[in-house]
Amino acid sequence: MNEPQRAFLDDLLATASPSGFETASQRVWTEYVREFADDVSTDAYGNAVAVHEGEPDAPTIAFTGHADEIGFIVRDILDDGYLRIGRIGGSDRTVSKGQHVTVHADEPVNGVIGQTAIHLRDTGDDEYEDIAGQFVDIGATDADEARNYVEIGDPVTFSTAAAELVGDRIAARGIDNRTGTWAAAEGLRRAVDADAEPTVYAVSTVQEEVGLQGARMVGVDLDDVDAFVTVDVTHATDNPDVDREHRGPIELGAGPVVSRGSANHPALVDLATTAAADADVEVQLQAAGTRTGTDADAFYTARGGVPSLTVSIPNRYMHTPVEVIDTGDLAAVADLLAAVAEGASDAMPLAVDV
């Protein structure tokens, strides 16, 4: 990963993008892809699409990631100036209390999610309060003062900054799934550099964390796409506190993860694994027996059925403020996407043999 690519990743991770409030992050993404895409467009809800125009008779493939992250939303301003919050997406009530947060009002407002000191509570009765029972303290003394800074409906995110760990590993809030949008953009750039024969889209969708909504829009709008490759994160289960029943073969640093089953079209799985071997990219396999839990679940049923695949980045501590990835895995995903684009023409048409 060279310096501009790393700066792009850092900019994405530094830009808050809770579901429904992705505009700032989408601006970062579109500014980057405009440097090499033939065209960049956005729709009414902020889904962003960049394209490399290929040969007229060549296939069309889309690389996608979702721009949004989990977070909170201000749902009430109490008389004493505290803010009650609700969930945006799958926010984890066990990690929220005692954290620094930012309320993304007209101007950002610093706050904390309150946690009563250990000295003042009976730790024997400790339970994790639901998000609806937690509160943000911005320092206001009453509701009138609080309303000078925030209003109901303002989004809230953790204030965690990206941090370098040992080796190639980083920790950050929002790795799920700003890394996927990074990979989609970088896959497109590699396809442009190779003057790929297929037409290649890179897509940064909105509102995945609240029901794959952006993918539903894009799946209909991009009606010329022959295949979607969705890039998201998946659970790395190599940390010591993962229960044995949840342990799987996925490890940080062992390469991109190709899913099999459910939405994942078998011919597209074959294309990805063959392309990986040809490009000398090590991959891991993951089973998806019922659903992928990614935008691929929306793409593959669009327009009567479109071959789709999920390629994932191993991620520890998903939906916490300290998600951890290996940047080597991330760069390898972009390499894999470029190899898929290169092999797409020979693999078409993508169909099951019935």
Query: Known binder of ligand: residue 57?
Result: no
CATH fold for the domain made of 3-69+173-347? Aminopeptidase (3.40.630)
Where, residue-wise, is CATH 2.40.30.40 in the chain? 72-158
Give 236-240 contacts, CB < 8 A, sequence gap 24+: 236/314, 236/315, 236/316, 236/324, 238/316, 239/316, 239/317
- Asked whether residue 232 is marked as a ligand-binding residue, the answer is yes
- Decide: 109 and 103 in contact? Cβ < 8 Å: yes
Residues of the chain with CATH 3.40.630.10: 3-69+173-347
Contact 12, 26 (CB under 8 A): no
> Is 100 labeled as ligand-binding?
no
- Give the alpha-carbon dihedral of 279, 285, 288, 291, to 10 degrees: -30
Q: Which amino acid is at 121?
A: R
176 among annotated binding-site residues: yes
Predicted local distance difference test score (pLDDT) of residue 346: 92
Instruction: Give CA angle at 335 (315, 194), nearest 5°.
Output: 155
CATH superfamily of 72-158: Peptidase M42, domain 2 (2.40.30.40)
Q: How far out from the chain centre does Cα 219 lie?
A: 17
Instruction: Tell me the mean pLDDT per 10 residues along the chain, length 354.
Output: 95 98 98 98 98 96 98 98 97 95 98 90 78 97 98 97 96 97 98 96 98 97 97 94 78 97 97 97 96 97 94 97 98 98 93 88
Reported as a single tens digit per residue, the pLDDT across 192-226 is 999 999 999 999 999 999 999 999 999 999 999 99
Q: What local confidence, expressed as pLDDT, does residue 244 receive? A: 66
Instruction: Please give the pLDDT value at position 353.
Output: 85
Task: Please enumerate in sequence order all residues whose Cβ is within 8 A of that of 287, keeping only pairs 6 or more positions apart, or say none.
Answer: 259, 260, 261
**pTM of this structure:** 0.96
209 assigned ligand-binding residue: yes
Which residues are identified as catalytic? 208
